[in-house]
Structure 1
Amino acid sequence: MSNTTYIPALRFNWLTKVYDPLIQWTMPEKQFKQDLIKEAGIETEYHVLDFGCGTATLSMMTKSKHPSAFVTGVDVDAEVLAIAQHKLRGFPHPIRLDQYDGMKLPYPDETFDRVISSLVFHHLTPIQKAKALQDIKRVLKFDGELYIADWGKAENSLMRGLFYGVQLLDGFKTTRDNVAGLMPSYLLEAGFLSVKVLKKYRTVFGTLELFRAKK
């Protein structure tokens, strides 16, 4: 996943500026991100990585809820990170933002207690999904946990039909395995344990799921 092959938040760079309002208006964003943070069980002075942090909404929500935690956001997209930096100017808590090349996360082994991620993995090809999960496992501490909110197996024909809108925008190659319910398999193949779908959300774009995996 080099920095020349990633898919921007809304596939096209010129749409990146409308990503935040679009998600706020069309998705139960506050609910599923609050649920993700709650399920992650973040404790005092935990080191938390927001993988594919985008405009840093999840990072900011996490830091607001757990001000003693050390929150780092990482993304391959320089444009979306610039938006994140702008949002952080008036934010009262420090958050570190890093850009990386999409190949290897720029952190030593066993750095983070928790890795969280929202609406990222459906942008990755099967090979990219597998490599990203392996590298996330590398930077997690021995008892660390990964929490992902992303598209999952369609619960019914309506949810499957709605998801075609996401696939037309983001591409079928990267989204096919999500809607087929294969994310748990990717997590298991990467060596994670206790993989579980914690919650499901019916949205105007299809079924969103909250996944948990332990190192």
Structure 2
Amino acid sequence: MASERVRKRYVHALRFQWLTPAYDTIIKTTTREQRFKQALISQAQLGAGHQVLDVGCGTGTLAIWIKQRHPDVSVTGIDGEPAILAIARQKAQKAGVSVVFKQALAYSLPFPDHCFDRVFSSLLLHHMVWEDKVRTAREVFRVLKPGGTWHVADWGAPAHRIMRLLFFSIQLLDGFEQTRDHVTGRLPELFARAGFQEVQVGPSFSTLYGTLTLYQGRRPLA
């Protein structure tokens, strides 16, 4: 019964599996992907030897870009969809970079405590109801090393009325319950509830679908 509830709550990339082959093209042309993902990577201040996790990696674009910019870090990506992970593996092979991709859900990470220096999540949280957002935040907190940081790029509070109107398309696609927390600016609260400190709201980007915002929080040293 529990697995059935999870299945019903799960929202595929672009909502429908048949759209998966078009995912990269749609994201690239509608979200200013290059700009916001490179800003997210810069925000993380990666260093040599860091262990990095991309939660909800999708087709692997962010994970691959991280590895290309920082060849001396170890990158793992997880996603719940086998088909999208197959695309990610093909892209990494074509790019000539080594990234480990595993099938897993964000709120049940198959990793021990305190094993990653940085965790990334890009356009993941708006697929989840609040309960699953909280579970995911707690899992990210668990797998981060003390002092490690979580870096999120997702839909934020609309910058102005036009951005709010544009965001209705995302709400229709991915669900009003899942996206309500983004319209109301609740993501900093999510970080705090999981125990993160130094929670920051970073730059925002106006896109064809609304306002994309960067966030970060740090796991305390003790």
For the aligned pair, the TM-score class normalised by the smaller chain equals over 0.9
SS at match of 2:95: coil
Question: Does residue 134 in structure 1 map to residue 138 in structure 2?
Answer: yes
Match of 1:50 among 54, 68, 72: 54
* Amino acid in the other structure paired with 1:147: H
Structure 1 window deviating more from structure 2 (90-99 vs 38-47): it is 90-99
Match of 1:151 among 145, 151, 155: 155
Distance, in Å, in 2 between the alignment partners of 1:195 and 1:103 is 20
Any conservation in 1 of the 2:51–2:75 contact (CA below 8 Å)?
yes
Structure 2 counterpart of 1:171: 175
* Amino acid in the other structure paired with 2:130: P
Match of 2:21 among 17, 23, 28: 17
Structure 1 window deviating more from structure 2 (100-109 vs 90-99): it is 100-109
Number of residue pairs matched? 215
Cα distance, 1:174 vs structure 2: 0.4
TM alignment of 1:179-194, pairs within 5 A: 179-194=183-198
TM-score, normalised relative to structure 1: 0.97
Instruction: Pick the structure with more helix per residue.
Output: 2
Cα distance, 1:89 vs structure 2: 2.2
RMSD (Å) for aligned C-alpha atoms: 1.3
Distance, in Å, in 1 between the alignment partners of 2:102 and 2:17 is 19
Match of 2:73 among 69, 76, 82: 69
SS at match of 1:138: helix
Structure 1 counterpart of 2:129: 125
* Amino acid in the other structure paired with 2:110: P
Structure 1 counterpart of 2:90: 86
Note the residue ranges of structure 1 that are not aligned, 5 or more in a row. none
Note the residue ranges of structure 2 that are not aligned, 5 or more in a row. none
SS at match of 1:116: strand
Cα distance, 1:92 vs structure 2: 1.6
Distance, in Å, in 2 between the alignment partners of 1:173 and 1:150 is 15
> Identity of counterpart residues, as a percentage?
42
Structure 1 window deviating more from structure 2 (76-85 vs 161-170): it is 76-85
Cα distance, 1:102 vs structure 2: 4.7
CA 1:152–1:103: 2 relative to 1, 3 Å: closer
CA 1:60–1:169: 2 relative to 1, 3 Å: same
Distance, in Å, in 2 between the alignment partners of 1:152 and 1:25 is 19
Cα distance, 1:104 vs structure 2: 1.5
Residues 161-208 of structure 1: per-residue CA shift (max 9 Å, x gap): 110010011110100111110000111111110111111111111111
Cα distance, 1:26 vs structure 2: 1.2
SS at match of 2:15: coil
Structure 1 window deviating more from structure 2 (11-20 vs 76-85): it is 76-85
Match of 2:37 among 33, 38, 50: 33
Structure 1 window deviating more from structure 2 (84-93 vs 204-213): it is 84-93
Distance, in Å, in 2 between the alignment partners of 1:124 and 1:157 is 24
Question: Does residue 6 in structure 1 map to residue 13 in structure 2?
Answer: no
CA 1:20–1:142: 2 relative to 1, 3 Å: same
Structure 2 counterpart of 1:108: 112
Cα distance, 1:90 vs structure 2: 1.6
Cα distance, 1:117 vs structure 2: 1.1
Cα distance, 1:87 vs structure 2: 1.3
